[in-house]
Amino acid sequence: MPPENPAGPVIGHVHLKVADLDRAIHFYQMLGFDLTQRIGTQATFPGADGYHHHIGLNTWDSAGAPPAPPGHAGLYHLAVLYPDRAAPAQALARVLKVGAVLDGAADHGVSEAVYLRDPDGNGVELYRDRPRADWPRDTAGNLAMVNARLDVQGLLALAR
């Protein structure tokens, strides 16, 4: 949830064009989002922790449409931040169980992330941040993110 009085800009929510609203609702509920409002068969607004919405899902211009083709401009992925390591593991286990395919996984030093696609082909990152005090830094004190292998099976073991 964005801070109530942010000191700078924050991303508050993202709206996604989807082909099938019910299918998209089911997917985002498996990631841990609750429906806060629905507008008939055209739009819904999932949120978490009582927030009005983190994601807007709509079929206004996309009902029944195929995913955007590769190589075109558009959303690369949206990132879902979880409060601890077990939470993204549980969400990942749920979506893998219904056939989602993992696109990738990485330990970035500052975070651990897994990447997949929602039913409409939108990229989705499920991640948790490490405490800021543990973030890797170079000798000058600058942030030094990495792209190391993530033990996905070890992560999924937390989902049990």
3-class secondary structure per residue, 27-58: HHHHCCCEEEEEECCCEEEEECCCCCCCEEEE
64 φψ region: left (φ > 0), alpha (ψ -120 to 50), beta (else): left
Domains of the chain as residue ranges with CATH: 1-64 (3.10.180.10), 76-160 (3.10.180.10)
On average, the pLDDT of the chain sits at 94
The per-residue pLDDT for range 20-76, each reduced to its tens digit, is: 999 999 999 999 999 999 999 999 999 999 999 999 999 999 999 999 898 999 899
3 confidence band (pLDDT: 50, 70, 90)? low
